[in-house]
Chains A and B, each alone.
Chain A
Amino acid sequence: MPDSFPPGSAGLVVPEVHRFDSPLELSCGRSLPAFELVVETYGELNAARSNAVLICHALSGHHHAAGFHGSEDARPGWWDHYIGPGKPIDTETFYVVCLNNIGGCHGSTGPRSLNPETGQPWGKHFPPLRVRDWVKSQALLADRLGIEQWAAVVGGSLGGMNAMRWAVEHPERVRHCLVIASAMKLTAQNIAFNEIARRAIRSDPDFRDGDFAEQGVVPRNGLALARMVGHVTYLSDALMGLRFGRELRSGSLQRGFEAPVQFAVESYLHHQGEKFAEDFDANTYILITKMLDYFDFARDYGDDPVRAFSRAQARFLVVAFSSDWRFAPERSREIVRALVAANRDVSHACIESDMGHDAFLLPNSRYEALFRAYMGRVAGTC
């Protein structure tokens, strides 16, 4: 079967479930009595256990970052452009670990899981999470896999926040930290978009105040609307112009025609919304957008990012994309400024792209060359 996968693909990958039976104390003060993580790994851990790379996913991501689950899969994992044999995160060199984080809805313990105390799905009662809780659970996973120190912790967007948090929470466990299209905290505009998405979900009558699962319904409309708003903000005006323009999917704007008009961009957005509503959990969406909103890298360090980064021992690569207006290049420059002031090793590039925030997931020759060059250096330290 692997023959049927495209060259450079991680090929057939099989997720594993890791169960942790001791309680996980969360930053909210509550704890999860036990939890499960769904994990994919690509490549082999070397004898020195020095070549492990942790991939941190963003808001809607999960453990399936590369390769295929079966030959009938229409699409590979979400970061397949950059993970695989011969790709920037080269699975022939690195042991790549990607997991679905707690609070997620792709198999790891989250709002869809059963609350052992009630026997019902956690739903809206799932404890609120902070990015540091993800780091904590990921550290337990690293222990389980026998990884003392990551060669690199890599993440885009929320995943970049996750990577930065790793570098200061466990300085000795991170050799390289790649922070892509990310920020030390969200701006008011960003929080505003997240709240619009949350309101869209909550206003769906099928949301049932978060208890939709028990009542056997799904707030599809709310989820779809949340995704549509989000999706528009992850792209750029230029890209949407290029990809859709004013092209019509159906109907006509000529005089004398009454048939309803649908623009290509409308049908695309509806499709994205429906697809998302199929498999994403509404409580997870609310939970994780709040994690994003609450994240403030330097809050616990007297609001001084220089002090926070002074703890880190890792070398950093900070990448921004020119047309990204949700995690704008200026946010990356703020990270770089703090790292330079903290006297940390850092390289920074702002990649020209009209793909908006989503650029970090998409093919781009300069991004790829830079990523490859950096990971080549990481490989040299394994």
Chain B
Amino acid sequence: MLRVDLAIVQCWVRPGSRVLDLGCGDGTLLEVLRDSRDIEGYGIEIDAEKITQCVGRGINVIEADVDHGLADFPDKSFDTVLMTNSLQVLRRPDRVIAEMLRIGEECVVTFPNFGNIRTRLSLAAGGRMPVTRQLPYQWYDTPNIHFCTVRDFEELCRQQQIRVLDREFVAEQFPDRLIKATWPNLFCATAIYHLAK
């Protein structure tokens, strides 16, 4: 996760809150939030090595599949449910977001914007599936099965009557950073949404 994404997500998590992090990876985000926002919480992860890494840094981690394992969590049992950079690997991102909003008072979701100009150009000009620094996989070995664009995501929020409390767009390269606010769907690399039902 980029430092700048991290900073934004941090700002949206209230100090002392109870947090659930879906696809928590090696526990970096939870560790940062624990140290800077004094949160308590748990990560959900499916990868064996990452689970061990979380345990090694003293982060609460629970092995479960985000696509199927959230039914165990009662309604509104967390202040904030996070999911950073995992939306695109889910089988049913829409259902998981609905689950997140059921479990948490608020949610924060980040995802790579497939509508980015570089991805578009790569597909349009090269005629091949984009392979970028942020999305370094080949089409056949990618874990990313459900890409979306900023506009797709906005549409999903509208359809499911999800309230967007806040949105931030992060661009990696220099010129993009200047114009991303005007044309987020073209120039943002990572979109960060703060949601509530």
Q: Name A's B-contacting residues (CB within 8 A).
A: 317, 333, 336-337, 340-341, 343, 345-350, 352, 366, 369-370, 373-374, 376-377, 380
Q: Name B's A-contacting residues (CB within 8 A).
A: 18, 40, 42, 48, 51-56, 58-63, 72-74, 77
Of A336, A347, A349, A380, most B-chain CB atoms within 10 Å: A347
Give Cα A297 to B56, complex, Å.
29
A333 to chain B, nearest CB (A): 7
B77 in contact with A373 (CB, 8 Å): no
Q: List 26 A-B contacts (CB under 8 A).
A: A333-B72, A336-B62, A337-B72, A340-B72, A340-B73, A343-B18, A346-B42, A346-B60, A347-B55, A347-B61, A348-B61, A348-B63, A349-B48, A349-B51, A349-B52, A349-B55, A366-B52, A370-B52, A373-B52, A373-B53, A373-B55, A374-B56, A376-B56, A377-B55, A377-B58, A380-B58
B48 in contact with A366 (CB, 8 Å): yes
Give Cα A343 to B39, complex, Å.
12
Of B18, B72, B74, B77, most A-chain CB atoms within 10 Å: B72
- Give the 5 A-B residue pairs with the shortest CB-CB distance, closest first: A373-B56, A373-B55, A348-B62, A349-B63, A347-B61
Give Cα A340 to B60, complex, Å.
10
Closest to B78 in A: A340
Give Cα A341 to B48, complex, Å.
24
B55 in contact with A370 (CB, 8 Å): yes
B62 in contact with A377 (CB, 8 Å): no
Residues of A within 8 A of B53 (CB): 373
Question: Given contacts A347-B51, A349-B51, could you give 7 more A-B pairs where the C-beta distance is less than 8 Å?
Answer: A336-B62, A337-B72, A340-B42, A346-B42, A349-B55, A373-B55, A377-B58
B48 to chain A, nearest CB (A): 5
A374 in contact with B55 (CB, 8 Å): yes
Closest to B40 in A: A343
Residues of B within 8 A of A337 (CB): 72
B40 in contact with A317 (CB, 8 Å): no
Residues of B within 8 A of A377 (CB): 55-56, 58
Residues of B within 8 A of A345 (CB): 40, 60
- Known contacts: A336-B62, A347-B61, A377-B58. The answer to whether A341 contacts B52 by CB under 8 A is no
Residues of B within 8 A of A366 (CB): 48, 52
Give Cα A370 to B47, complex, Å.
12
A330 to chain B, nearest CB (A): 11
A102 to chain B, nearest CB (A): 33
- Known contacts: A340-B42, A341-B77. The answer to whether A369 contacts B52 by CB under 8 A is yes
Give Cα A370 to B60, complex, Å.
13
B54 in contact with A347 (CB, 8 Å): yes
A215 to chain B, nearest CB (A): 52
